[in-house]
Amino acid sequence: MTDTELQADELLALTSIYDEPVIAISQDAEDVGGQFLSSVHLPDTTIKILSRREKSGNKDGKSIEEVHEVKFLPPVILNFQLPADYPSCSPPQFTLSCKWLNRKQLTALCHKLDEIWEENKGNEILFMWTSFLAEETMEFLGVESTIDLTNAFDSRKGSDTEPRAIQDIGSRDRLIPVVLDYDKQEKQCQFEKTMFQCKVCFSDRPGSSCIKFLDCDHVYCKDCMKDYFTVQIGEGNVTALSCPDEKCESQAHPSQVKALVNEELFDKYEKLLLRTGLDMMVDVMYCPRPACQYPVMLDRESNMGSCPSCSYSFCTLCKLVFHGKSPCRVKADGFKKLREEYQNADEENKRFLEKKYGKKTIEQALEEAFTNDWMESFAKQCPGCGAHIQKMDGCNKMTCMKCRSYFCWLCMSELSRNNPYKHFNQPGSKCHNRLFEGMDEDDDDFDIDDDMFF
Q: What is the pLDDT of residues 116-168, one digit of tens each?
A: 999 999 999 999 999 999 999 988 988 777 777 776 666 555 556 789 999 88
Residues 272, 418, single domain; the answer is: no
Spatial distance between the Cα atoms of 300 and 282, rounded to a whole number of angstroms: 10
Give the pLDDT score at 446: 43
Give the pLDDT score at 376: 62
Residues 205, 271, single domain; the answer is: yes
Give the pLDDT score at 332: 53
Residues 361, 217, single domain; the answer is: no
Summarize pLDDT for 42-79 with one digit per residue, the tens: 665 555 666 655 555 555 556 667 778 888 889 999 99
Give the pLDDT score at 109: 95
Higher pLDDT residue, 57 or 7?
A: 7
CATH at residue 288: 2.20.25.20
CATH at residue 24: 3.10.110.10
Higher pLDDT residue, 99 or 370?
A: 99
With respect to residue 397, please indicate whether it lies within any of the assigned structural domains: yes
Give the pLDDT score at 119: 95
Give the pLDDT score at 226: 92
Residues 260, 293, single domain; the answer is: no
With respect to residue 450, please indicate whether it lies within any of the assigned structural domains: no
- Of these ranges, 157-166, 257-266, 327-336, 344-353, the one predicted with the greatest mean pLDDT is 257-266
Give the pLDDT score at 221: 93
Domain count, the chain: 5
- Is the confidence at residue 440, as pLDDT, over 60? yes
Q: How confident is the model at residue 372 (pLDDT cuts 50, 70, 90)?
A: low
Give the pLDDT score at 395: 87
Spatial distance between the Cα atoms of 255 and 46, rounded to a whole number of angstroms: 26
- Is the confidence at residue 338, as pLDDT, over 80? no
- Is the confidence at residue 393, as pLDDT, over 80? no
Give the pLDDT score at 12: 92
Percent of the chain predicted with pLDDT > 70:
79
Stretch 420-444: mean pLDDT, rounded? 79
With respect to residue 423, please indicate whether it lies within any of the assigned structural domains: yes
Tell me if 451 sits within 8 A of 389, measured CB to CB. Answer: yes
Residues 86, 115, single domain; the answer is: yes
What SS3 string covers the chain? CCHHHHHHHHHHHHHHHCCCCCEEEEEECCEEEEEEEECCCCCCCCEEEEEEEECCCCCCCCEEEEEEEECCCCCEEEEEECCCCCCCCCCCEEEEEECCCCHHHHHHHHHHHHHHHHHCCCCCCHHHHHHHHHHCHHHHHCCCCEEECCCCCCCCCCCCCCCCEEECCCCHHHHHHHHHHHHHHHHHHHHHHCEEECCCCCCEEEHHHEEECCCCCCEEEHHHHHHHHHHHHHCCCHHHCECCCCCCCCECCHHHHHHHCCHHHHHHHHHHHHHHHHHCCCCEEECCCCCCCCEEEEECCCCEEECCCCCCEEECCCCCECCCCCCCCCCHHHHHHHHHHHHHCCHHHHHHHHHHHCHHHHHHHHHHHHHHHHHHHHCEECCCCCCEEEECCCCCEEECCCCCCEEECCCCCECCCCCCCHHHHCCCCCCCCCCCCCCCCCCCCCCCCCEEEC
Stretch 377-403: mean pLDDT, rounded? 80
Q: How confident is the model at residue 402 (pLDDT cuts 50, 70, 90)?
A: confident
- Is the confidence at residue 349, as pLDDT, over 70? yes
Average pLDDT of every residue of the chain: 81
With respect to residue 356, please indicate whether it lies within any of the assigned structural domains: yes
With respect to residue 443, please indicate whether it lies within any of the assigned structural domains: no
Stretch 323-348: mean pLDDT, rounded? 71
- Of these ranges, 50-54, 351-355, 425-429, the one predicted with the greatest mean pLDDT is 425-429
With respect to residue 454, please indicate whether it lies within any of the assigned structural domains: no
Q: Which residues contact 233 (CB under 8 A, 6 or more apart)?
A: 241, 257, 261, 265, 268, 269, 272
Give the pLDDT score at 341: 75
Spatial distance between the Cα atoms of 302 and 289, rounded to a whole number of angstroms: 20
Residues 166, 227, single domain; the answer is: no
- Is the confidence at residue 321, as pLDDT, over 80? yes
Give the pLDDT score at 445: 47
With respect to residue 444, please indicate whether it lies within any of the assigned structural domains: no
Which residues are known catalytic residues? 395
- Is the confidence at residue 286, as pLDDT, over 50? yes
Q: How confident is the model at residue 448 (pLDDT cuts 50, 70, 90)?
A: very low
Least confident of 211-220, 388-397, 421-430: 388-397
Nearest-10 crossing angle of helices 359-378, 347-357: 100
Residues 67, 167, single domain; the answer is: yes
Higher pLDDT residue, 70 or 278?
A: 70
Higher pLDDT residue, 118 or 314?
A: 118
Give the pLDDT score at 13: 93
CATH at residue 214: 3.30.40.10
Residues 213, 228, single domain; the answer is: yes
With respect to residue 189, please indicate whether it lies within any of the assigned structural domains: no
Stretch 291-306: mean pLDDT, rounded? 78
Residues 68, 139, single domain; the answer is: yes
Residues 26, 166, single domain; the answer is: yes
Structural domain of residue 240, as residue ranges? Answer: 195-280
Give the pLDDT score at 397: 87
Residues 28, 172, single domain; the answer is: yes
Residues 421, 318, single domain; the answer is: no
